[in-house]
Amino acid sequence: MLAAVMRQHEDTCPDIALPAFRGRTPREAAADPSTAADVAALLDDFEWTQRREPDAPMMDIDRLRRELGLD
């Protein structure tokens, strides 16, 4: 069940506006050359955190990178 919740989060998070991207979604920010590196850095941070907390729920960061065109 937790895996399904994480998958749903992965499906929706690219299209949720975030203050970190000045109110734009990660998808919008990834498409903008001036902020794509910021999105990539956020995903890198998520990945680093997951490596440090192996028992925590995991998102498929590589899947998010592909979804956002950052692979």
Nearest alpha-carbon partner for 16 in 64, 71, 58, 53: 64
- Condensed to tens digits (0 to 9), the pLDDT of residues 31-52 reads 999 999 999 999 999 999 989 9
Please spell the DSSP secondary structure of 32-47, one letter per residue: STTTHHHHHHHHHHHH
Angstrom distance (rounded) from CA 68 to CA 55: 26
Predicted TM-score (pTM) of this structure:
0.85
* Average pLDDT, integer, range 62-71: 94
pLDDT surpasses 80 at 56: no
pLDDT surpasses 80 at 23: yes
Share above pLDDT 90 across residues of the chain, in percent, rounded to a whole number:
72
